[in-house]
């Protein structure tokens, strides 16, 4: 169960279920009033692709520059989204940054964790959690997920 009120995290969660079950889970969160943004791992094979997918799903403003600094700036703002809990759901985790090195994937997860923590530390009107779907546990590897301290949700 995700604690949306916690100011101490965890910020990232993992599941290992089918894409259709993950979608159903995301839609159940949306039905309970949580803003849900769905990201497709297959559309995030490189950093450039990832910036495109995230900016579309989170509806970044027109001035988004498509780079890491602009990503951090937009993620720190989010004023165009309604206040409250935001679930960023990333499906097909094994395909995220697949064209890049394994360390890039870990850096992205840490970057997302940091952005969630920053919102909490600043008393933001947003409570952000990132839920990643590893699909089959072997696709990304439980060890890789656990090495980042990402807890698995039972759904």
Tokens of 138: 């072997």
| Residue 155 belongs to some domain of the structure | no
CA-based nearest residue to 99, from 26, 51, 29, 46:
46
> Which has more confidence, 51 or 154?
51
Q: What are 91-148's pLDDT values in tens digits? A: 998 899 988 877 788 889 999 999 999 999 999 999 999 999 988 655 556 677 888 8
| Residue 134 belongs to some domain of the structure | yes
CATH number at residue 25: 3.30.370.10
| Residue 113 belongs to some domain of the structure | yes
CA-based nearest residue to 25, from 10, 11, 12, 14:
14
| Residue 102 belongs to some domain of the structure | yes
| Residue 116 belongs to some domain of the structure | yes
- Enter the DSSP assignment of 94: G
Q: What are 61-92's pLDDT values in tens digits? A: 999 999 999 999 999 999 999 999 999 999 99
| Residue 4 reports pLDDT greater than 70 | yes
Q: Which residues pair with 138 in a beta bridge?
A: none
- Number of domains comprising the chain: 1
| Residue 18 belongs to some domain of the structure | yes
CA-based nearest residue to 130, from 42, 53, 36:
36
Cα separation, 65 vs 69, in Å, equals 8
Domain that holds residue 37: 12-147
| Residue 25 belongs to some domain of the structure | yes
Q: Which residues pair with 126 in a beta bridge?
A: 84
Predicted local confidence at residue 110, as pLDDT: 92
Cα separation, 91 vs 135, in Å, equals 8
From residue 149, how far is each of 25, 78, 82 by CA, in Å? 22, 26, 29
């Amino acid at each position: 169960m995700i604690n949306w009120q916690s100011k101490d995290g965890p910020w990232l969660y993992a599941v290992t279920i089918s894409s259709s079950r993950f979608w159903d889970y995301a839609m159940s969160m949306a039905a309970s009033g949580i803003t849900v943004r769905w990201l497709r791992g297959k559309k995030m094979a490189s950093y450039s692709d990832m910036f495109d997918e995230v900016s579309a799903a989170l509806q970044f403003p027109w001035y988004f520059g498509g780079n890491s600094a602009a990503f951090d700036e937009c993620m720190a703002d989010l004023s165009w989204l309604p206040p409250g809990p935001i679930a960023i759901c990333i499906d097909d985790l094994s395909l995220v940054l697949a064209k890049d090195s394994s360390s890039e994937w870990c850096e992205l997860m840490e970057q997302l964790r940091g952005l969630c923590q920053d919102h909490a530390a600043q008393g933001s009107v947003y409570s952000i959690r990132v839920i990643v779907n590893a699909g089959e546990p072997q696709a990304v590897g439980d060890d890789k997920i656990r090495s980042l301290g990402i807890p698995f949700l039972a759904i």
